[in-house]
Amino acid sequence: AEVGEGDIGPAPLDFFAVDDEDLLVTFPPDIHRPSLEDSFDDSLKDSFESEMSATAILRNLIGRAHRKVRNHIFLHTLGHHRPYFVVFTCLLNLGIFMYTMHYNNCPEHSDNCLEADALGRFSFEATSVNPLYGPSPRTLLNMGAKSTELIVEKGEPWRLVAAVYLHVGVVHVLSNVAGTLAYGWTLEKDHGWMKVAWLYNLSGISSMMWSAIMKPKGLTVGASGASLGMFGCNFANLVMNWSVLDEPMLQIPVLLVAAGVEAFMGLAPYVDNVSHIAGFATGLLFGFIFFYHPRIAQDIDASGPLAGVVRAQWQNQQGHQWVLIALAAPMLVAMMFLSFVLLFAGIDVSGFCGCEGLDCQDTFLWTCPNYNPPGAELMHDCNTDVFPSNMTTVISCVGSTEAPLTIIGEQLSQEFLDMLCDQQCAH
């Protein structure tokens, strides 16, 4: 069939088949079955009124239906979906960060808040408490930051989800929103919101689980693992759908440059690279399993009354797709199962990780601090023990070798204890 005016490019043809013997045309249920009247243009009707053969009528009918089917395939596969989930997730992360700052209410417990006059209760903690312009570590812990001790020993696994949607500061949340838009926009347009929603949340949860296993003494928040899961899925999408993507060769340098930027930013202070790597790996494997577009098997009749008519049929997977799915599926299941067992069985494998080498590295843009203040990874939690009998309060930092702070002879409010914890354990 020739491409008519208004048709959308050359695209694979499918959704109908022609039976040579019965001359039967089958259409999908959601495509309008064209009638003879709406399938002929004026010139064809004139020729039909004179001496139009039945074969010519059928070939014209199939040709017009052919173009409708092609448009249907194109519009309902690549680029058809609207990226509702990506937009909603970005707005949700921004909204939760605003609520976190409202809950933090820095002026209530500190006189050193940044921009207190302009922002009021939304003002930032001092950079000695949070160098990334955000809330205090205590606020993040109260709202659901990843803490291995609380997840395992206190029975709070909900933190594995909540921590994905919390952010430590303005720079942190804006960078993750930008990453989600950059890596998720096209994926959702091509594959729909359902797959992308599963990808985002599974990658985020996996990143928090592996961070809790490999860095049990740190507090971690942020959607970086989920965002990098989308990034990893873009690599899988390119491999799985090479023949149906638009200009796939141009996507290779874009992804490689983005990978270089992500790797470089992983050297920055306050970054939990264990979380990043786990999120990327989860997204890559998930993409190999679920993010594929079916191929089209095509055949053209060489002779007979239907000569030149394309016969098309969906092929769900090709050989290389089956191989990648078969490899990725057990790897993803093993990765998730292993993380679940190691975390909730309390098996400490952090000593085998060598994860300290993945932390901050000095570059020409920054110098790593000799301590780990609150950032994308908050390295210290605070324990407060109050002894009313002798009015003694002992504040100690989990994961720190510093001597505990002991206060004798004062009855301290909870707000003041939180402030002392922030000051004592953020250095």
Catalytic residues: 224, 276
What are the CA-CA distances from residue 397 to residues 38, 387, 427 (Å)? Answer: 78, 18, 10
What are the CA-CA distances from residue 91 to residues 82, 87, 98, 199, 206 (Å)? Answer: 16, 6, 11, 18, 22
Strands 310-315 and 295-300: antiparallel
Angle at 97 between CA 273 and CA 229, to 5 degrees: 35
Structure tokens at 213: 């296993």
Q: What secondary structure does DSSP assign to 299-342, as a single string?
A: EE--SSTTTT-EEEEEES--HHHHHHHHHHHHHHHHHHHHHHHH
The answer to whether the CB of 315 falls within 8 A of the CB of 297 is yes
The answer to whether the CB of 114 falls within 8 A of the CB of 127 is yes
Burial environment of residue 203 by CB neighbours within 10 A (0 to 12, 13 to 18, 19 or more): buried
Q: What secondary structure does DSSP assign to 251-282, as a single string?
A: HHHHHHHHHHHHHHHTTSTT--HHHHHHHHHH
Burial environment of residue 97 by CB neighbours within 10 A (0 to 12, 13 to 18, 19 or more): buried
Burial environment of residue 199 by CB neighbours within 10 A (0 to 12, 13 to 18, 19 or more): buried
Q: Which helix H or strand E contains 297, and what residues bound it?
A: strand 295-300
Q: How many helices (H) and strands (E) does the chain have?
A: 14, 9
d(CA 120, CA 117) in angstroms, rounded, equals 6
The answer to whether the CB of 200 falls within 8 A of the CB of 89 is yes
